[in-house]
Amino acid sequence: MAKLVTTEEEVMLADAARGFLDDAAPVSHLRGLRDSGQTQDAALWKSMAEMGWAGILVPEEAGGSDMGHAAASVLAGEMGKTLVSSPFIATAVIAATALRQASDTRATEALRQIASGNVTYALAVDESAKFNPEATQLEARREGNGFRLSGEKRFVVDGGNADRMLVLARTNDGLTLFDLPTDRQGITREAKAMIDNRDAALVNFDNVEANGEDVLGEVDDAMRVLKPALEAGQAALAAEMAGLAAGAFRMTVEYLKERKQFGIPIGAFQALQHRAAHLWCECEVTASAILNAGRALDQDPENASMAVSLAKARATETARLAVQEGVQMHGGIGMTDAFDMGFYMKRARVATEWLGDYGYHANIIAQARGF
């Protein structure tokens, strides 16, 4: 069983991350990006890469630190506390994990580019309103020694900014994963800022040419490469949502201490104390689920599915509770754009849907337990 205690190295990583992000990417940084019409800060990502964050899951021989999934979740959690907008999950977690499943020189060079911060990735999987990779219909039709891709992908997070995309397509006898540059002829992207100010693109593939070198893994066997990558991304996203909940909780508690009614801080009212205590308990339990998922991915990745889905499901509900309680306990100010709580609520809503919502992950847990 995974040991649910943070290591000294993880504590140091969290402290270093918090020190950097409080200065370089507070919530006001996200507000500034939104107000200027931007969804990401390239200079911020470059700084993260220089600190080694882009290579957190990249092998040392490819220029990374290879610290593992629990460490990646530590970083994601700290980013969640101040709503940092970056390509960390799509690039440093999902793409890096997928590329690690291939052992060829091309994959190694791609990992090296990720670790250096020179290349970013997006994941093109979704085609409908809900996450369901197995239902992929984008067609990869055989043509000579290569393929022609035709179809559409929706909700491609970071798709408007990314240099490359991992594209899931249906081939003759299954699903195949392609690693394509976003400027490949026939690919068109319609990028829009979501309510949380991250970018997501609608991507159209019009007879896009792909060859054997573009295939990541084996033809008709995409899930061997993609499943570990998706689970890594789900665990990191759960950690970000847990960090989001912690950030919203901290903001709410500070307000309860400062806001006065009848001459005393409202935090002295027992009803509000009970609600805050309940939220704190939920955050702590979810933090354990996050740590368990990271440990499972590091120690027994073949059997980590239930731990990862438990983490994502719990993080979804905890983040929802944290932002709802935050808005309510702040009263009228909690509903205004001038106050930051709304940013937490919007991010929680988008993160709920990405990589599988509560129902998707609850179903995985139920099936794993024989229901």
65: confidence class by pLDDT, cuts 50, 70, 90: very high
233/344 same-domain check: yes
132: confidence class by pLDDT, cuts 50, 70, 90: very high
Instruction: Give the chain's end-to-end CA distance (angstroms, integer).
Output: 23
84/148 same-domain check: no
Instruction: Write down the pLDDT at residue 1.
Output: 44
Torsion 236-237-238-242 (CA) sign: positive
Are 247 and 207 in contact by the 8 Å Cβ rule? The answer is: no
Q: What is the DSSP string of 199-228?
A: EEEEEEEEEEEE-GGGB-S-TT-HHHHHHH
350/247 same-domain check: yes
CA 29-30-32 angle, to 5 degrees, is 65
User: What are the counts of helices (DSSP H) followed by strands (DSSP E) for the chain?
Assistant: 11, 9
Asked, for residue 1, whether it belongs to a domain, the answer is no
148-168: pLDDT as tens digits: 999 999 999 999 999 999 999
**CATH no. for residue 340?**
1.20.140.10
227/320 same-domain check: yes
pTM for this predicted structure: 0.96
Are 21 and 79 in contact by the 8 Å Cβ rule? The answer is: yes
Instruction: Write down the pLDDT at residue 294.
Output: 97
Are 248 and 241 in contact by the 8 Å Cβ rule? The answer is: no
291/315 same-domain check: yes
Please say which residue of 85, 119, 153 terminates a domain: 119
227/278 same-domain check: yes
pLDDT at 32 over 70: yes
Asked, for residue 341, whether it belongs to a domain, the answer is yes
236/299 same-domain check: yes
308/362 same-domain check: yes
Asked, for residue 326, whether it belongs to a domain, the answer is yes
Q: CB under 8 Å to 250, separation ≥6 — which residues?
A: 81
Region 230-235 average pLDDT = 98
Burial of 134 (0-12, 13-18, 19+ CB in 10 A): exposed
Please tell me the total count of domains within the chain. 3
Residue with tokens 């990374």: 64
Q: d(Cα 191, Cα 68) in Å, to the nearest integer?
A: 32
Q: Which of 371, 234, 250 shows the shortest CA–CA distance to 314? A: 234
Quick check: helix, strand or coil at residue 191?
strand
168-213: pLDDT as tens digits: 999 999 999 999 999 999 999 999 999 999 999 999 999 999 999 9
Please say which residue of 75, 100, 119 terminates a domain: 119
What are the φ and ψ backbone dihedral angles of 135, each rounded to 5 degrees? -90, 10
Please say which residue of 91, 119, 147 terminates a domain: 119
Q: d(Cα 175, Cα 137) in Å, to the nearest integer?
A: 9
30/87 same-domain check: yes
Asked, for residue 3, whether it belongs to a domain, the answer is no
Domain span at residue 293 reads 223-368
pLDDT at 229 over 80: yes
70/152 same-domain check: no
Instruction: Write down the pLDDT at residue 44.
Output: 97
Instruction: Write down the pLDDT at residue 314.
Output: 97
Asked, for residue 213, whether it belongs to a domain, the answer is yes
Q: What is the DSSP string of 127-155?
A: -SSS--GGG---EEEEETTEEEEEEEEEE
**CATH no. for residue 98?**
1.10.540.10
Are 168 and 125 in contact by the 8 Å Cβ rule? The answer is: yes
If you ran DSSP here, which 8-state letter would residue 174 be given?
E
312-336: pLDDT as tens digits: 999 999 999 999 999 999 887 888 8
Instruction: Write down the pLDDT at residue 254.
Output: 93
191/265 same-domain check: no
**Cα radius of gyration (the chain):** 21
Tokens of 263: 């001459």
DSSP H or E segment with residue 309: helix 305-330
Instruction: Write down the pLDDT at residue 3.
Output: 55
**CATH no. for residue 148?**
2.40.110.10
What are the φ and ψ backbone dihedral angles of 160, each rounded to 5 degrees? -80, -20
199/128 same-domain check: yes
